[in-house]
Chain A
């Protein structure tokens, strides 16, 4: 049974991903078709960041996962050695 914290975190994740999707869709798909002197452009970073930020975030995520896996394997190996 999902507790209140689980529900909070779960729906928080859903809301975050929805907001991210809408914002990124606006940025990538809609913005090129709006005149560049329109006021909406002040809410978005320059276009090159639309590629740089996701790539950097993905690399950071991969790095984090790699470090995490290395840490877990190292820990379990130490544990196995101790139990021998």
Chain B
């Protein structure tokens, strides 16, 4: 199953559980405070996800950095590729 399928499956499970609890007949409903917390739960999850995304973007922005090691490694790869191509007779 792909990652998208997994996420859709999980969301469908959660959503149907929420709908079952929110749309239950009056006799089977959870107690009033719990129900009041339950009804806006999808919006709450959305807001929580938004907060997480915003915090991630902010944190990565604050700790943005040069990648000295990665640059050196990339240069090394380029050198190796050039040497290999030259060995096979390609003129650069």
| Residues of A participating in the B interface, judged by any CB pair closer than 8 Å | 1-2, 6-7, 9-14, 16-18, 20-21, 24-25, 28-29, 32-33, 47, 50-51, 54-55, 58
Contacts and interface: CB of A to CB of B under 8 A. Distances in A.
Interface of B: 32-34, 36-37, 40-41, 43-44, 46-48, 50-52, 54-55, 57-66
Given A50-B40, A50-B43, A54-B46, A21 B51 contact: yes
**Chain B binding surface, main DSSP class:** helix
Contacts of B61: 2, 6, 9-10, 13
B51 A2 contact: no
A51 B39 CA distance: 10
Given A14-B59, A17-B58, A29 B51 contact: no
Contacts of B37: 28-29, 32-33
Nearest to A13: B58
Contacts of A33: 33, 37
A28 B44 contact: yes
B66 A18 contact: no
Nearest to A2: B64
Given A1-B64, A10-B63, A21-B51, A32 B33 contact: yes
